[in-house]
Amino acid sequence: MSTSEFNLASLRSRLSHLPIAGIMYHEITGSTNDDALQWLDQGAEDGSLVVADEQTSGRGRMQRKWITRKGTALAFSLIFRPAKQQYLSLYAPLGALGVCAALEQQGNIQPQIKWPNDVLIRGRKISGILAEAAWQDDRLKGIVLGIGINVASTAVRLEDGFLFPADSVQNCLGKEIDRMDLLVEILRSIFFWRQKLDSPEFIQEWNNRLAFRGEEIRINRPGQGPLIGEVLRIAPDGVLWIRQKNGREIPVLAGDVESGMINTMRPEE
């Protein structure tokens, strides 16, 4: 197994140079996003962090499960209290950019972002991101940005039943990766890009890392029929544009990207 033991003291010491307001650490918890949403309610400051070694009911997008086994993965949630509401949809890609930048530091790989925010290495998913906004009436209380990464090869098991191919950082790089080093680098990169959320460089960086660009994909949309088209770009407002067979370019606001030969759903769903 690859990886640093986590505890509150080691997290505090390794993250002390970053603008992290407070840290909560759990050896085991249900979901760090649930913990963070609760902490947000109780007044957690902008930049607070929840980390867990193991999750028993980790959540993914579209009500999917996310499995985090003890000692094998990264599972953490950041709490933000954005001053402006207009960039809310950019927090999930902010997480994906942070993960990509940190992974690149680990070796000779080019991680990509499967719109809207899964991180792939060589077409296999190694990280998932779940951003959740908390509201009180029409006032935004904050955003919880939850990130899960399969670090060690033991994080991913065949019996988990992924139909979209999943993999681990260790398998992709062919070497052991230290979880703590990876966490520090991801957080550093997230805090860097957060200051540039409203910049053209942010969208450019997202486009540079966009998976399946120029390829035909299928997008499954909740409660609507699928869309098929060629991936064009992410627009400045964070919306994905595709070109349909008839040449029409259309924006896609929500959905799940599937490439021609792969399916993103787990069998039980």
Name the site residues for ligand BTN (rule: CB under 6 A): 31-33, 55, 58-61, 64, 66, 68, 75-77, 118, 128-130, 146-148
- In whole angstroms, how close is the CB of 29 to ligand BTN at the nearest point? 9
Nearest residue relative to ligand BTN (C-beta): 128
Across the chain, which distance is largest between two alpha carbons, in Å? 58
- In whole angstroms, how close is the CB of 118 to ligand BTN at the nearest point? 6
Closer residue to ligand BTN (CB): 14 or 266: 266
User: What gap in Å lies between CA 210 and CA 111, rounded to an integer?
Assistant: 9
- In whole angstroms, how close is the CB of 62 to ligand BTN at the nearest point? 7
Closer residue to ligand BTN (CB): 123 or 196: 123
- In whole angstroms, how close is the CB of 59 to ligand BTN at the nearest point? 4
Across-strand partners of 221?
Answer: none
User: What gap in Å lies between CA 208 and CA 115, rounded to an integer?
Assistant: 12
The tokens describing 148, both together, are: 């899960």
- In whole angstroms, how close is the CB of 70 to ligand BTN at the nearest point? 14
User: What gap in Å lies between CA 166 and CA 126, rounded to an integer?
Assistant: 6
Closer residue to ligand BTN (CB): 76 or 206: 76
Q: Which residues contact 138 (CB under 8 A, 6 or more apart)?
A: none
User: What gap in Å lies between CA 227 and CA 204, rounded to an integer?
Assistant: 24
Answer whether 120's CB lies under 8 Å from 104's CB.
no
Closer residue to ligand BTN (CB): 165 or 243: 165
Closer residue to ligand BTN (CB): 160 or 230: 160
